[in-house]
Chain A
Amino acid sequence: MRSHQGKCGYLRLDGYPSNGLEQVSDSGIDKTFLKDQFPELIDLSDSHHASRSQQGDLLTLIELPQFQSPQQAGLMGMDPRVKNQLEALQLHPDRHLHFGRDPELPNKDILEFKKLESFSLSLNASVWDPPSLNTLWFELVNGAYGDVYRAKALMNLPDGRSMFFNWIVSQESSQFIPLEEISAPNGRPASLSELVVQGKHLDGLRIQSTIDLCLLNDAVLEMHQMPLRDRQKEAIPST
């Protein structure tokens, strides 16, 4: 998307839960992250923009949660329900690639699931103690609260930054990417903050209670923000 010269679009399609495999409802993490990185991004799930999917130079990232390899190669392997969703948006795929099957995609990203649980938590207005967040993420992706296959989050830090966290069990390490937009150091941030986890034997209550130990209260948050405000005042030249 960074190297594409024209406009970029994003579309998240709903996946289809099947026996023993729980889908996570769309938390908006990806859309928020991409919109931050590409402010001109066109959200094709918004009906006002759907007609723009026909723009010739539009590069669209389509996200579809899927747990198993398609039974057939190429377009024949596409779930007809997905095809219908795309056609409603006047999108007609000419190729269908899949992790682990097609050489264009990394082979190690293939994972077959027989059973999958999900856990999600809204963390809007929450701000983390940074070293505690580091510990919680380490414990989470290393199995302290169940076998985690996938975890994704947007987390707020006391200096106003928001971080995108991304973990896939087949990868060696997590991705941590700071968002471009920084909140003003005035109380609790308004930006989206969510945690989504997929895996087996997830202990949501313990994840929640550990998170409670990591979040800053108003007094501590103010201790972090006051010097930031003072520095901002000093940086404004007097007239």
Chain B
Amino acid sequence: MNHAIISCLHANLPAAEAVLNDIDRQGIDTITCLGDLVGYGPQPNEVVELIRKRGIATCQGCWDEDIIDGLNACECSYPSQLAERRGHLAHQWTDDQLTDENKSFLASLPTSLRRDRLLFVHGSPNSQHEYLLPDMDAFAALERVETAGADILFCGHTHQPYVRELRDGSIRVRLQNADHGNDQGEELTLPMRKIVNAGSVGEPRHGSTNATYVIHNDATDEVEIKEVAYDVGRTCQAIVEAGLPKVFAWRLSHGFEFAEQAEDASHVCER
């Protein structure tokens, strides 16, 4: 059966509506959302209410967490002073806009969702703030999936969709036993695991302005990354009218692949 995975909606209502319409047209009725319903975009309440109204199973993203817990993360969340100050502006604006009811909804979201051998998280099983980048060290990537006890890990947060298969892995351990003067060894062959990143509905950074999401078939394990065009101009106009930084609209309207990345993207915030 096909099911859809969406992530990183970022208060972009036209994009969220377009993606949900596309999913509906394919007759898919199981949808999982990987969080970041708010942040940067101009319609935080509308997007949260759309997800609530549709009853979409959702886990909490880093923006959803920060809106509830406040900006008390260590500085790892932002790769530059500029990104941090802009992020704080967007945070303050979003905090002012969101209703108490919608904030309560964001606070109630779990950090992960599990369906059999499928695990759904925003960033990684460790943290909503950790980036699982497509070129992350294979051993570290496999460790994230394996320790979470999943065959397939669905994540978002990077805004760049990808499917990564981790196969043909093995770990060899050789233990020098000083007491007995002999070596003991063990080799483990690791089963194939998969990381699927759904990209971003509301703030794509894959070189196109199109929103992205993923369809997974749980019988065949086939994964399809879908792109959906939406009215970017409508969102950009709403960003400017809301008084959010104009550069957010500019960035969205170009779908630039450029995205600032922290020096150590796998750093886990320890707040």
Contacts and interface: CB of A to CB of B under 8 A. Distances in A.
Pairing of A with B: yes
Interface of A: 129, 131-132, 134-136, 138-139, 142-144, 206, 210, 213-214, 216, 220
B243 to A, nearest CB: 13
A210 B254 contact: no
A184 to B, nearest CB: 23
A210 B81 contact: no
Which bucket holds chain B's interface residue count? 10 to 19
Contacts of B251: 144
Contact of A213 (B85, B246, B256, B260): B85
**Dominant secondary structure at the B interface:** helix
B36 to A, nearest CB: 20
A135 B81 CA distance: 10
Contacts of A216: 81
B82 A213 contact: yes
Contact of B82 (A132, A142, A144, A206): A132
B80 interface: yes
Contacts of B82: 129, 131-132, 135-136, 210, 213-214
Given A139-B250, A143-B250, A213-B81, 10 more contacts: A129-B80, A131-B80, A132-B80, A135-B260, A138-B258, A144-B251, A210-B247, A213-B82, A214-B80, A220-B81
B71 to A, nearest CB: 16
Contacts of B250: 139, 143-144
A132 B81 contact: yes
B87 to A, nearest CB: 11
B8 to A, nearest CB: 20
A144 B236 CA distance: 13
Interface string B239-271: 000000011001100101010100000000000
A214 B247 contact: no
Contact of A131 (B246, B247, B260): B260
B254 A142 contact: yes
B14 interface: no
Contacts of B258: 138
B86 A144 contact: no
A174 to B, nearest CB: 13
A157 to B, nearest CB: 13
Nearest to B261: A131
5 contacts: A129-B82, A135-B82, A139-B247, A142-B254, A210-B82
Contacts of B81: 129, 131-132, 213-214, 216, 220
Nearest to A216: B81
B79 A131 contact: yes
A131 B86 CA distance: 14
A206 B246 contact: yes
A135 B254 contact: no
